[in-house]
Amino acid sequence: MSVKLTFVSPSDGGGISRSCSFAGFSTVQSRKLAKSLSRNSVRSKMSVKSSKMYPSLQRGAVIWDPKPQQVKKIFEALKKGLNEYLQVHQAELDYLSARHKDTKRNSRLAFYYDLDKQIRSVERYIRKLEFHISKVEELYETYCIQCRLRDGASNMKHAFSLTPSTKASRESLVELYKNLQECTEDMCLIEGALEVHLGEFHLKMKGLVGYARLCPGDQYEVFVRLGRQKWKLKGKIETDDSQTWDEEEKVFIPNLHEKFEIKVTELRGLTTILVGMVTCDSIDFFTTRPQAIIVDITELGTIKLQLEVVWNCSEVCEGPKNISSLEA
């Protein structure tokens, strides 16, 4: 079943709305603070002393427990996606370089200089990607070191707690508890710094599919949540079976621990009826290719929601423009 969509307020150039950010900061503020954290907080042995880098993640104010297994899965998916981006642009660079040599022999100067400019742009982007990958690897390596130190401190703390209580053992327990807290806080700080490098997810509404379940005049509300980020949009089934929605696209900032929660309700006058609610993991979205999400909203799959996710690996490393319009 094909779905024809119209949007009441289509996004114009640069008009894509971002989701609400977390921790009470705006998106710009939270990114600046997080980037400041990633630059300043990861030092040798992660000896974080300043509490000014990120107010909500200062020492003594740990707000979540580290989840090493989840961080490992996200890191592997992120690294794989970044390497895909690197391979794509390296292949583009090889292609452009070959055309550059042919063009030089043909002496078409205007096209030659445009091509040369494009090659330099791709080379700069590749260097940014390589730095991005190295930064992610450095953060994860430091995270693993802190994880091992934390596990060691936890094991020693447990061992000392089983021994007869003496002044020396009590002093050792106090010191081990302090080390355990510091390792835990450092891991939380690194998780916050790693989230800065996850890029953005652009979610696009592709409509509902319900065959006989969708009738002209039906109105639905779709609610998408990722942590504290929310997207609520309303749609209506028209007489020609097309669908009208009030928004087309939303930008979400990925995080390490939250999954997408999707809820669909049917609007009937002043009442709402829950159609279904599902959760969706974001690990598979770290790829260069747009990912289609088709989820069963109802248990029998009579109503499905279609979304498309496009991952932008880094908003500060925008890829070079395609040169398909250039003709040899």
**Shared-domain flag, residues 138 and 258:** no
**Shared-domain flag, residues 52 and 13:** no
Instruction: Please give the residue range of the domain that contains residue 294.
Output: 5-22+199-312
**Shared-domain flag, residues 280 and 214:** yes
- The answer to whether the CB of 250 falls within 8 A of the CB of 27 is no
pLDDT at 327: 39
Tokens of 42: 């990861």
**Shared-domain flag, residues 50 and 193:** yes
Measured CA to CA in angstroms, residue 27 lies from 49, 218, 267, 282 at distances of 26, 35, 31, 20
pLDDT at 33: 43
pLDDT at 320: 54
Measured CA to CA in angstroms, residue 168 lies from 72, 156, 165, 181 at distances of 37, 14, 8, 20
| The dihedral formed by the CA atoms of 125, 126, 131 and 137, expressed in degrees to the nearest 10 | 130
pLDDT at 139: 94
> How many CB atoms lie under 10 A from the CB of residue 5?
15
Q: Tell me, what CATH number does 10's domain have?
A: 2.60.40.150
Q: Which one, of 226, 207, 232, 224, lies nearest residue 282 by Cα?
A: 226
**Shared-domain flag, residues 220 and 297:** yes
Q: Which one, of 310, 267, 240, 203, lies nearest residue 4 by Cα?
A: 240
Q: How far, in Å, CA of 39 to CA of 58, rounded? A: 15
**Shared-domain flag, residues 186 and 205:** no
**Shared-domain flag, residues 146 and 259:** no
**Shared-domain flag, residues 170 and 203:** no
Q: Is 92 a member of any domain?
A: yes
Q: Is 206 a member of any domain?
A: yes
- The answer to whether the CB of 306 falls within 8 A of the CB of 290 is no
**Shared-domain flag, residues 74 and 176:** yes
Helix (H) or strand (E) holding 27: helix 27-40
DSSP state letters, 210-270: -GGG--TT-EEEEEEEETTEEEEEEEEE-TTS-EEES--EEEE---SS--EEEEEEEEETT
Q: Is 49 a member of any domain?
A: yes
Tokens of 144: 């693993």
Q: Is 285 a member of any domain?
A: yes
**Shared-domain flag, residues 65 and 144:** yes
pLDDT at 105: 57
Q: Into how many domains does the chain fold?
A: 2
**Shared-domain flag, residues 123 and 260:** no
Which of these three, 146, 175, 197, is where a domain ends?
197
Measured CA to CA in angstroms, residue 94 lies from 105, 107, 228, 326, 327 at distances of 17, 20, 42, 16, 17
Task: Show pLDDT as tens, one digit a residue, over the chain (328 residues).
Answer: 556 677 676 544 444 555 544 333 344 444 444 444 443 444 443 443 333 333 334 444 444 688 899 999 999 999 999 999 999 989 988 888 887 776 665 556 666 777 888 888 899 999 999 999 999 999 999 999 999 999 998 888 888 778 787 888 788 888 888 888 899 999 999 999 999 899 999 999 999 988 777 888 899 999 999 989 999 999 999 988 889 999 889 999 998 989 999 999 999 888 899 998 999 888 989 998 898 888 888 888 888 999 999 999 865 445 554 433 333 3
pLDDT at 149: 92
Which of these three, 152, 172, 197, is where a domain ends?
197
Q: Is 324 a member of any domain?
A: no
pLDDT at 163: 77
**Shared-domain flag, residues 186 and 206:** no
Which of these three, 153, 181, 197, is where a domain ends?
197
pTM, to two decimals: 0.74
Q: How far, in Å, CA of 131 to CA of 51, rounded? A: 27
Q: Is 176 a member of any domain?
A: yes
| Helix, strand, coil percentages for the chain (3-state, nearest 5) | 45, 20, 30
Give the position of tokens 């981006």.
85
**For the chain, how many residues are written?**
328
- The answer to whether the CB of 276 falls within 8 A of the CB of 221 is no
